[in-house]
Chain A
């Protein structure tokens, strides 16, 4: 069975602050993918990143960065210098040998001007 835990329900920050979203996963598969999606108020889930289980390199894309640590089964996401447009619900997800995409409960990020 697979499980994704996002312990933070809501995070509120002031613009330009950094915010880190935690994601811890459980799986017995040796090959799996981890994802982060953003859900703005409009509703659609926007794909942000996919990382496979064999690639533990951290990744940076603009103000976004991801820290994958297999030893702690974590795939954390940091937004640097947050902006109001970053306000959304962020979901961490896992897809393993059963090819199902299992989502965490999501973290609501509110960036105040």
Chain B
């Protein structure tokens, strides 16, 4: 059982829907990340939170909106997505941002936009 839990595992949504992805970790980590994994492409870092503060946004479209209410929880709010946003969204955590620690990844949410 991974130390990072993501829900839901699968999500199908229409382009006009609003949905949220949830990530939870109880590893005592202070940094959390959202990655996007599209077919045949390297993992793309989307957002970074360190001690609940967003420290990085890698030019992600505003239709993706992250939220980090505390160090254990991370959300990704989705609205008016496009079919090309279909991908596996992975959450990860590490002890804190500015260390070269290993990351712990969740199992991901497989998102399909129809």
| Residues of A in contact with B (beta carbons under 8 Å apart) | 4, 9, 31-33, 35, 37, 42-47, 50, 52, 91, 95, 99-106
Contacts and interface: CB of A to CB of B under 8 A. Distances in A.
Contacts of A105: 40-42
Interface of B: 2, 4, 9, 40-43, 45, 88, 90, 92, 97-100, 102-108, 110
Contacts of B99: 99
Given A52-B100, A99-B97, A44 B107 contact: yes
Contacts, number: 49
A47 B97 contact: no
A33 B90 contact: no
B107 A42 contact: yes
Q: Which of A42, A100, A101, A104 is most buried by chain B, counting CB atoms within 10 A of its CB?
A: A101
A99 B98 contact: yes
Contacts of B102: 35, 47, 50
A91 B100 contact: no
Nearest to B2: A44
Nearest to A97: B100
A104 B43 CA distance: 8
Contacts of A4: 42
Contacts of B45: 100-101
Contacts of B108: 43-44
A33 B99 CA distance: 10
